[in-house]
C-alpha cells in the first residue's frame, strides 16, 4: 500500500467513520502481511538517500511537482517527512533509517531550491527556532567555562573592533569635535539684534 493509498483511506474514514478498521484489527492480521513488517529492502542510510536522489534527478515530473510544492509554501521539512515515511510504508527502509535520511535530504532540497531560485521554507514551525531562553550573560559564562579559546577569541575581536571605531572617529573621516561657537567671540563685539539694519539681516 502506497502513501497515497493511505491518504485516500484516511479521506474515506473522515467521510464515513464506520469505514475504518476495527480497533485491534491489525493484531489479528497475518504477521508479515504488511510491507513494513517484512525485512526492509535497504538497510544502509547512504544507499537509501542515493535511492531517493536518483529517482528525483531522473524524473522531471517529480522535480516539477516538488518545485511547485516549495513555491506554494510547503516547508522542505514536510516534503522530506513525506518521502521518508512513504518509503517506510512501502518497506524500503525502517523507521530509524528514515530518521537518518532526513538531514541529508533536507540539505539536498535546500541546495536544489537555491540553485533554481525557488523561494522556500525550511521548517514547519519556524517560530519555534526564535525561542531563546538563554540570556547573553549565561551564554558568555558558559563559553568562558567550557570553551575558553572561543571566549578569548570573541573578547579579542570585540576589543579590536572597539579600537578601530575609536581610530576612525579620530581620523579625518571621523566626526569633528563639538565646538563652542561663542567661546572666542567677545561679548562686546557681538552686535545686538536691534542694532543690525534690515540690509544686514537680509
What average pLDDT does the chain have?
Answer: 76
Those residues with Cβ within 8 angstroms of residue 150's Cβ, 6 or more apart along the chain or in another chain? 143
pLDDT of residue 179: 47
pLDDT of residue 53: 95
B/e letters for 38-59, b = 16+ CB within 10 Å, e = fewer, are eebebeebeebbebbeeebeee
pLDDT of residue 58: 93
Same domain as 64, residue 143: no
The domain total for the chain is 2
pLDDT digits (tens, 9 = 90+) for 10-64: 565 566 667 677 788 777 878 777 887 889 999 999 999 999 999 999 999 999 9
Range of the domain at 79: 29-126
Of the two residues 179 and 148, the one the predictor is more confident about is 148
**C-alpha cell of residue 104:** 541529508
Name the one residue in this structure whose C-alpha cell is 521518508: 84
Q: Is residue 91 part of a domain?
A: yes
Same domain as 161, residue 94: no
Same domain as 82, residue 149: no
Same domain as 104, residue 165: no
Angle at 44 between CA 124 and CA 96, to 5 degrees: 45
pLDDT of residue 83: 95
Same domain as 115, residue 45: yes
Q: Is residue 201 part of a domain?
A: no
Of the two residues 144 and 11, the one the predictor is more confident about is 144
Q: Is residue 199 part of a domain?
A: no
Cβ contact 76:82 at 8 Å: no
**C-alpha cell of residue 62:** 517529480
pLDDT of residue 109: 95
Over residues 154-181, mean pLDDT: 60
pLDDT of residue 181: 46
Whole-angstrom Cα distance, residue 67 to residue 119? Answer: 9
Phi, psi of 93 (to 5 degrees): -150, 170
* Strand, coil or helix: 133: coil
Same domain as 118, residue 49: yes
Question: 1-10, 43-52, 160-169, 173-182 — which is least confidently predicted?
Answer: 173-182
Those residues with Cβ within 8 angstroms of residue 41's Cβ, 6 or more apart along the chain or in another chain? 91, 92, 93
* Strand, coil or helix: 115: helix
Nearest Cα neighbor of 127 from 195, 56, 180, 75 is 75
Task: Note the helical H segments in the chain.
Answer: 3-15, 45-57, 60-71, 76-89, 95-115, 136-146, 148-170, 198-201
Over residues 69-91, mean pLDDT: 93
pLDDT of residue 33: 79
pTM (two decimals): 0.53
Handedness of CA 90, 92, 97, 98 (dihedral sign): negative
Amino acid at each position: 500500500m502506497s502513501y497515497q493509498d493511505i491518504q485516500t483511506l484516511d479521506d474515506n474514514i473522515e467521510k464515513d467513520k464506520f469505514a475504518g478498521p476495527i480497533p485491534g484489527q491489525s493484531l489479528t492480521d497475518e504477521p508479515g502481511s504488511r510491507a513494513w513488517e517484512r525485512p526492509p529492502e535497504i538497510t544502509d542510510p547512504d544507499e537509501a538517500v542515493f535511492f531517493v536522489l536518483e529517482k528525483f534527478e531522473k524524473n522531471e515530473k517529480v522535480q516539477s511537482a516538488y518545485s511547485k510544492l516549495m513555491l506554494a509554501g510547503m516547508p522542505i521539512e514536510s516534503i522530506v517527512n513525506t518521502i521518508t515515511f512513504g518509503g517506510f510504508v512501502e518497506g524500503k527502509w525502517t523507521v530509524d533509517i528514515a530518521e537518518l535520511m532526513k538531514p541529508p535530504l533536507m540539505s539536498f532540497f535546500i541546495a536544489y531550491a537555491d540553485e533554481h531560485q525557488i523561494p522556500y521554507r525550511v521548517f514547519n514551525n519556524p517560530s519555534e527556532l526564535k525561542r531563546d531562553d538563554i540570556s547573553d550573560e549565561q551564554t558568555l559564562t558558559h563559553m568562558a567555562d567550557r570553551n575558553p579559546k572561543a571566549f578569548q577569541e570573541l573578547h579579542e575581536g570585540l576589543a579590536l573592533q572597539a579600537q578601530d571605531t575609536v581610530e576612525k572617529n579620530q581620523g579625518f573621516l571621523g566626526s569633528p569635535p563639538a565646538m563652542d561657537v561663542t567661546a572666542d567671540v567677545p561679548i562686546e563685539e557681538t552686535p545686538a539684534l536691534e542694532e543690525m539694519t534690515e540690509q544686514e539681516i537680509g
